[in-house]
């Protein structure tokens, strides 16, 4: 019997690889019975919990205070901002009954919470001294998405953080948006190890009700992108209908500038899986692994001393907040190795009778497959050291996959060739509404989406729009999105 329980080429078939690993590693179960809703299982939940904590720490450090808002939004609030209601209405689940009674007012099951937060901002914010006012919540949100469901990537309920913030000036609001982009970089790449590019989205693709939307994209094997956190400059679009005002230093009444940021952890988890996984299964950065260390006692049934030593090591590591399990099941060691490799546990410790005699153990690293002999007395420092090295190496591997993914294109036909395998870059007339026609041509012909213009690097367009031939004002990126 082959011990190898997972063996799919991620490079050749990333889509099948993803579908299978979700099942085999028990990340989510799709059989719940409500279309578009899935059950998140412990192995993904543990990792996402850790991902949440890193994000929240970062946001708190930047002055955001945590709230818990109701999941229901009164219809009259929901419909106050015109573009917002138009954009979201097709996706809203409505609560119309309570028991057998018809409600006087319908309640929206939050698809996002701008209209919940800003109705309260109007009551809480009085003077310039209350600003900036920075909030966030961790929430599940509901959207009646009609496209095909894919676990973590696209479903009708997802788990995210949303920040909602008010500022006295547009400049401060924009600075906070740059702060959001830095958070994305520090957490999504710094901790999750997922490299991203940051874009200003075209006007036709912005958040309903925003002046501008900025968003990061992660690149997956196969050259597709996955949208990462977006942040929206709402300007005064919401503060006017919601009456979010403050008195300034001259006692004058002013409308606040609002921004919001929505890192979707359940979707970012998909990027983590797709970025780091290999043909044997999952790989996790040490910091966010659902389980960090697996201990495998060899011949423990014959030598109880070994199990005792394993338990001692487990206790020692747990004292430092490292998550550890001992696999003392009746499976053969080879089977256990493959299983925990498929699960993506960063470090494996093996202890057999001969190791124990020498007061040594074997330490295996999931990222590079290397096994080293370590002294049991140094086990804590070895685990920490190798955990760090593993995370660093996974980042390095991910960045390497990034190199050369962008290809310059001079024609729509060239874009078509690149899209799906990589990211096309081209000169373009305009990302304002006047450019939408040209974008439609590109999207129809190539099957990719216009992701926008980069704000994380400096580049200037010269030459002509790849579609209409007018003078190019922007350099755009085109890719297929998950």
Q: Which residues bind Zn ion (CB under 5 A)?
A: 429, 438, 465, 467-468
CA distances from 21 to 101, 277, 397 (A): 45, 9, 20
Q: How far is CA 330 from CA 83, 292, 298, 327, in A?
A: 60, 22, 11, 9
Phi and psi at residue 83, to the nearest 5°: -65, -35
- Contact (CB, 8 A) for 452 and 476: yes
Using the minimum distance from each CB to Zn ion, give the nearer residue, 362 or 461. 461
CB of 433 to Zn ion, least distance (A): 12
Specify the residue for token string 């509404």: 433
Question: Looking at beta carbons only, is 177 or 465 nearer to Zn ion?
Answer: 465
CB closer to Zn ion, 187 vs 438:
438
Q: How far is the CB of 210 from Zn ion (least distance, A)?
A: 23
Residue 439 C-beta: closest distance to Zn ion, Å: 8
**Closer Cβ to Zn ion, 432 or 447, answer by number:** 432
In whole angstroms, how close is the CB of 426 to Zn ion at the nearest point? 10
Nearer to Zn ion, 256 or 412 (CB): 412
Q: Which DSSP category does 35 fall into?
A: T
How far apart, in whole angstroms, are the C-alpha atoms of residue 202 and residue 205?
5
Q: Please report how close the Cβ of residue 470 comes to Zn ion at its closest, in angstroms.
A: 5
Q: What is the DSSP string of 424-459?
A: EEEEES-SSGGGHHHHHHHHHHHS-EEEEEESSS--
**For Zn ion, the closer CB: 155 or 427:** 427
Yes or no: say if 162 and 112 are a contact pair by the CB < 8 Å rule.
yes
Q: Residue 256 gets which letter from DSSP?
A: P
End-to-end CA distance of the chain: 36
Whose tokens are 């974008």? That residue is 439
Of the pair 268, 438, the CB lying nearest Zn ion is at 438
Residue-by-residue DSSP string for 310-369: HHHHHHHHHHTT--EEE--SSS-HHHHHHHHHHHT-SEEEEE-HHHHHTTEEEEEETTT-
Burial class (CB in 10 A: 0-12, 13-18, 19+), 197: buried
Q: How far is the CB of 324 from Zn ion (least distance, A)?
A: 58
User: Of the two residues 322 and 438, which places its CB atom closer to Zn ion in the complex?
Assistant: 438
Q: Which is nearer to Zn ion, 329 or 440 (CB)?
A: 440
Q: How far is the CB of 461 from Zn ion (least distance, A)?
A: 11
Nearer to Zn ion, 181 or 467 (CB): 467
Strand segments, DSSP code E, in 82-187 are 93-98, 101-109, 133-142, 157-167
Q: What's the closest the beta carbon of residue 468 comes to Zn ion, in angstroms?
A: 3
The smaller minimum CB distance to Zn ion, of residues 271 and 430, is found at 430
Which lies closer to Zn ion via its Cβ, residue 317 or residue 465? 465
- The backbone torsions φ and ψ at residue 35, rounded to the nearest 5 degrees and listed phi first, read -55, 130
Distance between CA atoms of residues 17 and 12, nearest Å: 9
Q: How far apart are CA 456 and CA 180, in angstroms?
A: 12
Q: Give the shortest CB-445-to-Zn ion separation in angstroms.
A: 13
Rounded to a whole number of angstroms, the minimum distance from the CB of residue 9 to Zn ion is 39
Q: Are 287 and 50 in contact (CB under 8 A)?
A: yes
What CA–CA distance (Å, rounded) separates 417 from 312?
57
CB of 480 to Zn ion, least distance (A): 21
Q: Cα separation of 307 and 356, whole Å?
A: 11
Q: Least distance to Zn ion from the beta carbon of 230, Å?
A: 25
| Neighbouring residues of 76: CB distance < 8 A, sequence distance ≥ 6 | 105
Cis link prior to 132 (omega < 30° from 0)? yes
């Amino acid at each position: 019997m082959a011990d190898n329980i997972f063996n799919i080429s991620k490079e050749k078939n990333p889509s099948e690889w993803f579908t299978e690993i979700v099942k085999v590693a028990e990340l989510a179960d799709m059989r719940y019975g409500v279309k578009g809703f899935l059950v998140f299982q412990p192995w993904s939940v543990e990792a996402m919990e850790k991902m949440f904590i890193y994000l929240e720490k970062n946001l708190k450090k930047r002055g955001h205070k945590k709230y818990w808002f109701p999941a229901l939004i009164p219809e009259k609030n929901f419909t106050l901002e015109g573009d917002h209601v138009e954009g979201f209405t097709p996706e809203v689940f409505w609560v119309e009954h309570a028991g057998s009674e018809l409600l006087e007012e319908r309640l929206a099951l939050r698809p996002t919470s701008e209209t919940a937060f800003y109705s309260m901002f109007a009551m809480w914010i009085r003077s310039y001294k209350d600003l900036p006012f920075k909030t966030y919540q961790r929430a599940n949100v509901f959207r009646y998405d009609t496209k095909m469901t894919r676990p973590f990537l696209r479903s009708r309920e997802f788990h995210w953080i949303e920040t909602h913030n008010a500022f006295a000036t547009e400049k401060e609001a924009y600075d906070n948006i740059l702060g959001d982009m830095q958070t994305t970089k520090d957490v999504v790449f710094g901790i999750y190890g997922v490299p991203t590019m940051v874009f200003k989205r075209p006007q036709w693709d912005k958040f309903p009700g925003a002046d501008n939307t900025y968003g990061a994209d992660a690149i997956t094997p196969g050259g597709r992108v996955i949208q990462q956190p977006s942040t929206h400059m709402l300007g005064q679009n919401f503060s006017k209908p919601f009456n979010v005002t403050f008195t300034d230093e001259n006692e004058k009444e002013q409308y606040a500038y609002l921004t919001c940021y929505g890192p979707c952890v359940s979707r970012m988890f998909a990027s983590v899986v797709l970025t780091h996984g290999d043909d044997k299964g999952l790989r996790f950065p040490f910091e966010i692994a659902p389980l960090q260390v697996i201990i495998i006692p060899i011949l423990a049934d014959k030598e109880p001393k070994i199990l005792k030593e394993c338990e001692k090591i487990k206790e020692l590591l747990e004292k430092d907040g490292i998550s550890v399990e001992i696999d003392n099941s009746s499976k053969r060691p080879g089977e256990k190795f493959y299983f925990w490799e498929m699960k993506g546990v960063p470090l494996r410790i093996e202890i057999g009778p001969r190791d124990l005699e020498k007061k040594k153990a074997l330490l295996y690293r999931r990222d590079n497959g290397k096994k080293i002999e370590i002294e049991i007395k140094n086990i804590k420092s070895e685990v920490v050291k190798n955990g760090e090295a593993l995370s660093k190496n996974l980042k390095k591997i991910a960045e390497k996959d990034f190199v050369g993914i962008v290809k310059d294109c001079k024609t729509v036909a060239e874009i078509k060739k690149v899209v799906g395998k990589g990211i096309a870059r081209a000169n373009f007339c305009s990302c304002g509404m006047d450019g939408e026609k040209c974008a439609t041509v590109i999207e129809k012909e190539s099957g990719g989406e216009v992701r926008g213009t980069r704000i994380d690097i400096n580049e200037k367009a010269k030459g002509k729009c790849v579609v209409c031939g007018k003078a190019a004002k922007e350099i755009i990126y085109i890719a297929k999105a998950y």
